[in-house]
Structure 1
Amino acid sequence: MSKILLLDGFNLAFRSYYGLPDLTRSDGFPTGAIHGWVKTLWKLEDMESPDLVVVFFDEGGSDRHQELLPDYKANRDEMPEALSQQLPYLRQVAELIGFPVVSREGVEADDLIASAARRFTEAGDNVVIVSADKDLGQCVGQSISQLLPAPTANPRLGWRRLDSAGVEKKFGVPPAQVPDYLALVGDVSDNIPGIQGVGPKTATKWLLAHESIDGILENADQLTPPRFREKVAESAELLKLNLKLVTLEFDHDVGVLEKQAPKTNELVKLLEEMEMGQSASLAWDRYGLGLG
């Protein structure tokens, strides 16, 4: 039985970028996200002692989400140029350490992570999904946990691990009902509108009583507070659409995912080019003589 870490690349990249000052190379090239990224990857190696780490990135948006909701994620700001410049190096650092990097045009990283998690657990492995994304809570189960990075706004909270009980404490419902919960309350970060006025407490109460979106719709005339009865019945199509948007896909082919030997020479060279001398020295200490 192996321990597998599945990393949400963009989630961690943004946290690396916003979690450190605006560091730059002597020529002005931004390096803050690279500094944070290296520290994050090494922190995860030290905390978790994984047998394999796989990093997943979005690639060109999600075709299925755009078809369902053209305004999906349309409310998000453009990626900061300084982070965009560093992204290729984040991928390269991960690969040089020996972590496979997975992305697919038109498929959201969350769907690839869910698919990989299912494949590994079916093979008998334990999986840790590293991301703060709410959608991924639906993957948590007996052999899958979710590791939430320390929030950039409150780093003292530290890293937090969610098992099934942790997901239920956070959302008020077990992992299997997370999609139904998100369909009701919406997801502002993804521009998915819920039912106006329905918050976490109301959504949780309805799901505990009626189990699912279908159950809630079938019993719309019994919902409390009564003011929501007509609104929920009229929102049937919205709720069904939302459920499709927030329910992850578990059947994508993620290819061969195997640990690679670190290419220490190439990693050290890259870190030195970024004028990250201390990290370069630490890389030698961690990985010794590599293949690069």
Structure 2
Amino acid sequence: MTNTDTPHLVLVDGSGFIFRAFHALPPMTSPDGVPVNAVYGFTNMLARLLREHVGTHLAVIFDAGRQTFRTEIYPQYKAHRPEPPEDLRPQFSLIRDATRAFNVPAIELAGWEADDLIASYATAVREAGGTCTIVSSDKDLMQLIGPGVCMLEPMKQTAISTPEVEAKFGVTPDKVVDVQALMGDPTDNVPGVPGIGPKTASALVNEYGTLEAVLAAAPEMKKSKRRDMLIEHAEAARISRKLVELARDVPLPVPVAELGVRELDKLMVADWLESMGFRSVLSRLGVGHPSGAHAHRTARAAAHASVTGATAPTGAETPVAETGQSAEATASLTAEYGPYETVRTAEELQKWVSAAQEAGICAVDTETDGLDPLHANMVGISLSTAPGKACYIPLRHEGTLEEPAGEQLQPTAALDILRPLLTDPAVLKIFQNAKFDLLVFDLAGLDFSTIAPVDDTMLISYAQSAGQHGQGMDELSTLHLGHTPISYDSVTGTGRNRIPFTHVPVARATPYAAEDADVTLRLWYVLHPTLRTNQALALYEQLERPLSPVLAGMEKAGIAVDRAELGRLSEDFATRMAVMEKEIHEAAGRDFNVGSPPPAWGNPV
């Protein structure tokens, strides 16, 4: 992209994202053994941003240190914060390396927080007639939202604008600092007014308009503890406002005009990603498999040789990998998630079966009323035939008066329609944790041994990355697709408010369940090609894949127990124990409870 007269500046809150990624992702290490989970999360976010954002200008903003003008105003500001975790410390410099590798400006300024730089850049670009998107979920930045400025939540990729701010703080963005000044912030050691929480703070600001108006009106308020606290801690509230209000006139270290989006240097980013071991990001960016960097080096060396007359390197000297991705793998990373279809009739289901048979590949997932596949009833089935194309087949949803379940296929009818697909040797069925779903189908009446061929994304990942991270679908989606799936808790609730999946309205169950199948198919397109490059193909094909149905059969068969033999052993043990106990009593010279802890024995010997 080139600079324009009306720039759209995208600002990434690098410092805020570092900590969030560190705590959100499991421990990971680079090939050199350095912790890199926060670096990996940051790199995923940056790669996705470069692929999807529509900005003309881009920069990542970092904190330069703890000492700022706020610590001069209030020395206790953030003073209670502990040192960063040991595993996080080496990642700070690596994250800055990541921005350089992606050819994105990394900006920081001593004496100022990243939030102040972001506020000043946003103000500058808005005054120039442009717009600004702040990639962050930091509540302290929400005061900046207004005409020409919005925020983007980096993990969930959801926009944050005035309605979201009002839902969180109860006021419009321009009054957020007044609410924060009253309620304080324990995280940053902002004092506020004791006893004033979010609801009270927003109510006061909405009633009186500003913090100063609230403090001025306090002496005339009805006598109460709240009134006394407002009077007593008025100065603390004023200091708090200075602490939470962002500076918008910080000298810009780099002019906005110099932040135009730059061309990605594929060789540079491929070298860096390869050194970190981030193979999935390397593939996602379209710079090839892990050895793809060699292809770029070869191409560059060949071009140089054509000018200088030197001998161009051969493939034997420098391995060249296929640098492109399949159309399906690309779609797995770019296609929209949904909308998905609810299948309620035999005719609709048959269309999906035909589509899957034509595609020759299909992801399958089941929803159940329990976690034990040997006893759980099938509540619904999901299918996906292409990235972004998936459906949910409700079977046993009960519905409510307010949200009736509507028409549903009978489970046996649905299985009869699906059987030709699931048993078709020409169609690859893909599962995430296949053993569970196979046993669910078996309990429902479809012999799991007839469902073939089968691939399992959980085992495909495990064969390549055992011990590096978890193998659950949500975690794999975050790591490899840069997408956070709809959570089970968000659909069923938590704690006492959790409802069985059979009670989840079909309209809410469809996007959750169908997305599972969609994500599973996408993971297969991304992970399966890397089995060979990660030297895990034989492990998966010869051990992990064929072992899954064997284990399913073992679980189904269970363990045979010889009750008569166990009874005989029990009697034998009881007789022998009685003899031993008698011998102990004789040796001790008195009777006592041998089964009691030693202190209860006294001194029997």
TM-score calculated relative to the size of structure 2 = 0.45
Partner of 1:103: 108
Match of 1:128, SS state, is strand
User: What is the match of residue 177 of structure 1?
Assistant: 175
Tell me: CA distance 1:185–1:281, structure 2 relative to 1, closer, same or farther (3 Å): same
The answer on whether the counterparts of 2:181 and 2:240 sit within 8 Å (CA) in structure 1 is yes
How many angstroms apart in 2 are the aligned matches of 1:96 and 1:125? 27
TM-score by length of 1: 0.90
Q: Does 1:131 align with 2:136?
A: yes
> Quick one: distance in 2 between partners of 1:13 and 1:19?
10
Equivalent AA in structure 2 for residue 270 of structure 1: W
Question: How far apart are residue 277 of structure 1 and its match?
Answer: 2.8
Q: Which moved more, 1:221-230 or 1:108-117?
A: 221-230
Aligned equivalent of 1:219: 217
Shift of the alpha carbon at 1:13? Answer: 1.1
- Residue in 2 that maps onto 1:251: 249
CA RMSD of aligned residues (A): 2.1
Show the counterpart of 2:272. Answer: 270
1:67-92 deviation digits (Å, cap 9, x = unpaired): 01111112222112222212212112
Alignment of 1:139-150 (within 5 A): 139-150=144-155
CA offset digits 1:117-172 (Å, max 9, x no partner): 0111112222111122222111100110122234xxxxxxx233221232122111
- Quote the offset at 1:239 in angstroms: 0.9
Aligned-partner residue type, residue 274 of structure 2:
E
Find the aligned partners of 2:284 and 2:140 in 1 and give their Cα distance. Answer: 35
Most deviating of 13-22 and 41-50: 41-50
Partner of 1:233: 231
SS in 1 for 2:171: coil
Decide whether the 8 Å contact of 2:270 with 2:287 is kept in 1. Answer: no
- Tell me how far apart the structure 2 counterparts of residues 91 and 261 of structure 1 sit (CA, whole Å): 18
Asked if 1 retains the 8 angstrom alpha-carbon contact of 2:47 and 2:285, the reply is no
- Residue 45 (str. 1) matches residue 50 (str. 2): yes
SS of corresponding position for 1:190: coil
Relative distance call for 1:268 and 1:225 in structure 2 (3 A) is farther
Deviation at 1:66, TM superposition (A): 0.7
Residue 112 (str. 1) matches residue 110 (str. 2): no
Unpaired segments of 5 or more residues in structure 2? 1-5, 301-605
Contact 2:191/2:237 (8 A) holds in 1: no
**1:273: how far off?**
1.3
Corresponding residue for residue 94 of structure 1: 99
Q: Secondary structure at the match of 1:107?
A: coil
Corresponding residue for residue 555 of structure 2: none
Corresponding residue for 1:70?
75
How far the C-alpha of 1:7 sits from its partner, in A, is 1.0
For 2:187 and 2:201, the matched residues in 1 are separated by 18
What one-letter code is carried by the residue in structure 1 that aligns with 2:29? T
In the alignment, is the contact (CA less than 8 A) between 1:16 and 1:40 conserved in 2? no
The code of the aligned residue for 1:280 comes to: L
**Does residue 25 of structure 2 align to residue 11 of structure 1?**
no
Larger Rg: 2
Counterpart amino acid of residue 181 in structure 2: A
Counterparts of 2:136 and 2:104, CA distance in 1: 17
Asked whether the 8 Å contact 2:47–2:281 carries over to 1, the reply is no
**Shift, 1:279, TM fit:** 2.4
Q: Which amino acid is the alignment partner of residue 81 of structure 1?
A: E
Query: What is the alpha-carbon distance in structure 2 between the residues aligned to residue 281 and residue 89 of structure 1?
Result: 20
- Cα pair distance change 1:5/1:265, threshold 3 Å: same
CA distance in 2, matches of 1:32, 1:235: 42
Amino acid at match of 1:217: L
Could you tell me how far apart the structure 1 residues matched to 2:284 and 2:113 are?
33
CA–CA distance in structure 2, aligned partners of residues 169 and 233 of structure 1 = 28
